[in-house]
């Protein structure tokens, strides 16, 4: 077994989950002099607006059905990523029980950093454990990711070149997908391949794969995965499309253009995965724009999967009741728009319990209070966020 620290792994991920380039991120932070001045004068304006809207909601749910049962009733799949590594998950019986009750899907990590200790071998210890757990408990699985520019092992960064890149990528994708062929419901084949901040006309991110293989590396990865497991649903996964702020329009446009190019080439792509790392303190979710984006994706004949849903709460008030109400409102407002689009077929939260969240390492609160971004608290008690997700499923149109 390759021993690694999950926190170390997560610490390599960029703080700005919406993940546009650093230059664009600065633009987002300082939207305009007027907005900055407004925030300095009224620092809790956004929080107050969200609280006012969610205060009157009771977030009442009917019945005792689990999230997976409510989703299934509408033709949807609900699942979560464990966040805990295989060793922690194996020791946490409560977390296991909650997964069995609440989730019809489990996201299984297949990161290069953990699965490729050296150029000639693979380590499937962690993914084998989760696949066995899911199989034993009749939970579907989605693997993530096959090709990504982050979490790459040192040996790969040191040796990758134009002569060996195709063979390395092909062997990696083929080996992992074949190992779980017939068992994975879906794969995130390529993750985060767009970065408009890199200033390419096509919007593609300047990754090692692009550098050594060119623009067709995405198509290549999909075709290799499809050949290794023809039954798996293959997904392009990305982030930074939810808000109406500088850079987001360009990101949405670049993703749509990529999807159109893939479809025109006959790439075996099934869906767009939208990570959906949301912010509790933002007021820039444009319902009309987002509906149009989802509609445009669906018009390409693609399904849509919400793949990494959570709500960043590090700038919300410390008071738990106020914070939970705002977070629940963000979940419900977002999902009410998303689930109205019938091309959306699944919702996966990036974690199930606040006990295990990557945000603890990357977006801690200045007041040191524990984060509360997920459906269950640290003691596995359902929160208003759970109610909000349940209500969104209950109110969604049937697929």
Residues with a known catalytic role: 308
Helical (H) or strand (E) element with 50 = helix 45-55
**Does residue 380 contact residue 388 with C-beta atoms inside 8 Å?**
no
- How far does CA 108 lie from the centroid of its chain? 12
Q: What is the C-alpha to C-alpha distance for residues 315 and 50, in angstroms, rounded to an integer? A: 13
297: tokens are 């994706």
Is 105:117 a contact under the CB 8 Å cutoff?
no
Report the Cα 36 to chain-centroid distance in Å: 29
**b/e string for 204-218 if b means 16 or more Cβ within 10 A?**
bbebbbbebbeeebb
Q: How far apart are CA 103 and CA 119, in angstroms?
A: 35
Question: Which has the closest alpha carbon to 31: 288, 280, 284?
Answer: 284
Distance CA 394, CA 205 (A): 38
For β-strands 303-312 and 184-191, DSSP reports them as unpaired
Backbone angles phi, psi at 382, to 5 degrees: -65, 140
What does the angle CA 25 – CA 308 – CA 201 come to, to the nearest 5 degrees? 45
Angle between helices 217-228 and 248-265 (to 10 degrees): 60
């Amino acid at each position: 077994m390759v021993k690694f620290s999950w926190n170390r792994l997560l610490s390599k991920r960029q703080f700005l989950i919406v993940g546009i380039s650093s230059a664009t991120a600065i633009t987002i932070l300082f939207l305009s002099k007027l907005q900055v001045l407004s925030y300095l004068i009224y620092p809790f304006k956004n929080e107050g607006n969200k609280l006012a809207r969610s205060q009157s909601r009771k977030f009442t749910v009917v019945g005792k059905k689990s999230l997976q049962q409510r989703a299934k009733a509408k033709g949807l799949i609900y699942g979560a990523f464990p966040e805990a590594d295989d060793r922690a998950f194996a020791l946490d019986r409560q977390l296991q029980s909650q997964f069995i009750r609440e989730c019809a899907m489990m996201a299984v990590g297949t990161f290069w950093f953990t699965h490729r200790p050296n150029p000639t071998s693979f380590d499937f210890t962690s993914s084998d454990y989760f696949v066995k757990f899911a199989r034993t408990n009749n939970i579907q699985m989605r693997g993530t990711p096959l090709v990504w520019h982050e979490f790459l092992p040192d040996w790969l960064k040191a040796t990758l070149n134009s002569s060996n890149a195709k063979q390395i990528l092909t062997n990696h994708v083929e080996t992992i997908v074949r190992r779980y062929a017939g068992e994975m419901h879906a794969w995130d084949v390529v993750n985060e391949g767009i970065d408009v901040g890199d200033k390419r006309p096509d919007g593609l991110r300047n990754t090692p794969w692009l550098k050594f293989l060119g623009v067709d590396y995405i198509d290549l990865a999909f075709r290799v995965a499809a050949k290794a497991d023809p039954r798996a649903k293959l997904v392009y996964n990305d982030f930074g499309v939810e808000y109406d702020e500088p850079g987001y329009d360009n990101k949405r446009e670049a993703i749509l253009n990529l999807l159109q190019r893939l479809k025109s080439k006959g790439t075996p792509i099934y869906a767009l995965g939208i990570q959906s790392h949301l912010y509790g303190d933002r007021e820039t979710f444009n319902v009309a724009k987002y509906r149009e984006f989802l509609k445009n994706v669906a018009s390409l004949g693609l399904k849509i999967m919400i793949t990494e849903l959570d709500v960043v709460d590090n700038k919300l008030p410390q008071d738990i009741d106020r914070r939970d109400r705002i977070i629940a409102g963000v979940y419900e407002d977002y999902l009410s728009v998303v689930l109205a689009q019938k091309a959306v077929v699944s919702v996966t939260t990036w974690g199930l319990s606040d006990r295990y969240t990557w945000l603890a390492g990357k977006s801690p609160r200045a007041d040191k209070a524990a984060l509360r971004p997920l459906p269950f608290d640290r003691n596995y008690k359902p929160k208003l966020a759970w109610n909000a997700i349940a209500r969104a499923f209950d109110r969604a149109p049937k697929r």
